[in-house]
């Protein structure tokens, strides 16, 4: 396997009396997207800032392109923070040209590349507008262009699709896929488990600074493969009331999806459905969605031990 673009080993970070990152290890390789998941306050932003050398770990070791993090890697790294920031009273094309020049591009190359990307993202008509005049979606596109303008080898993007309408979100997801395809390593923080499931090669879930899940999407879902059952038929219970084997019930297309409780089995659910008088026509054990896995893992589901 190629050398990791980022390698984090046994990293700790403390603020005051609180360990916000605790013995955290992971890596990300060129040409893959790592989904960085966790509740608010779990330590994701602090970890990203340590990779960027904005803050330093108290203990542990971080390498970026095989070396210690530092300003010498600035031209090889693109960072899209959750709190967006463009110069409000400067034309977008001028801002993007300036950012490109800061990362080692000539002003002409930066201007031409910015215009090409704005055209690709349907933003060319706004090139002469100031940031203060842009809608949220337009602003977010411009910010992403600033992040990828010089084709960085490592991208760190924090909630890149938050608050976007479906059309603009799909467009920016295509951009992230394109960065992966050209060989960039991508660390993407997101609260949207659907995005993580469709965009990411591997996922890292942390809570209170501790690693809870780490592996490919298929590995993680396989570890919880007995965690959900989809049933179709007549008279199926539509809530967990009276069903000892499940914790959650919801409709999925023409079926009912039951989330199996810890220590219970799909066979127990089948017996409970039969005892309830339901007519079962189809009964299939399913790997749960990442959304369900996220909730269960943070709640302490022991299945997470297999992919920790």
Over residues 166-188, the pLDDT tens digits come to 888 999 999 999 999 999 999 99
C-alpha distances in angstroms, 22 versus 9, 53, 191, 205? 11, 18, 21, 13
pLDDT digits (tens, 9 = 90+) for 209-255: 999 999 999 898 888 776 789 999 999 998 999 899 998 898 988 89
What one-character-per-residue DSSP string does 216-248 give? EHHHHHHHTTTSEEEEEEES--SSSTT-TTEEE
Query: Domains in the chain, please, with CATH?
Result: 6-217 (3.40.50.300), 226-286 (3.30.70)
Q: What is the pLDDT of residues 99-131, one digit of tens each?
A: 999 988 999 999 999 999 999 999 999 999 999
């Amino acid at each position: 396997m190629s050398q990791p673009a980022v390698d984090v080993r046994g990293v700790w970070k403390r603020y005051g009396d609180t360990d916000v990152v605790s013995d955290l290890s992971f890596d990300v390789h060129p040409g893959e997207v790592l989904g960085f998941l966790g509740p608010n306050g779990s330590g994701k932003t602090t970890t990203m800032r340590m990779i960027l050398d904005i803050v330093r770990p108290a203990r542990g070791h971080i390498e970026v392109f095989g070396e210690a993090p530092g300003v010498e890697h600035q031209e090889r790294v693109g960072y899209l923070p959750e709190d967006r920031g463009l110069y409000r009273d400067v034309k977008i094309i001028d801002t993007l040209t300036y950012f490109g020049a800061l990362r080692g591009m000539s002003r002409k190359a930066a201007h031409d590349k910015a215009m090409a990307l704005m055209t690709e993202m349907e933003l060319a008509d706004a090139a002469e507008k100031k940031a203060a005049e842009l809608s949220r979606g337009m602003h977010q596109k411009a910010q992403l262009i600033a992040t990828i303008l010089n084709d960085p080898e490592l991208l760190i993007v924090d909630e890149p699709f938050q608050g976007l309408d479906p059309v603009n979100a799909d467009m920016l997801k295509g951009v992230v896929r394109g960065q992966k395809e050209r060989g960039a390593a991508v660390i993407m923080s997101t609260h949207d488990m659907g995005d993580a499931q469709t965009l990411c090669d591997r996922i890292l879930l942390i809570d209170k600074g501790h690693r809870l899940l780490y592996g490919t999407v298929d590995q993680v879902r396989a570890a919880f493969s007995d965690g959900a059952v989809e049933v179709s038929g007549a008279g199926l219970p539509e809530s967990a009331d009276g069903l000892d084997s499940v914790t959650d019930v919801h409709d999925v297309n023409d079926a009912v999806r039951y989330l199996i409780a810890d220590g219970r089995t799909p066979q127990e659910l089948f017996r409970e459905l039969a005892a309830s008088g339901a007519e079962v026509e189809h009964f299939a054990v399913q790997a749960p969605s990442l959304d369900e896995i996220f909730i269960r893992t943070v709640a302490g589901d022991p299945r997470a031990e297999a992919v920790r």
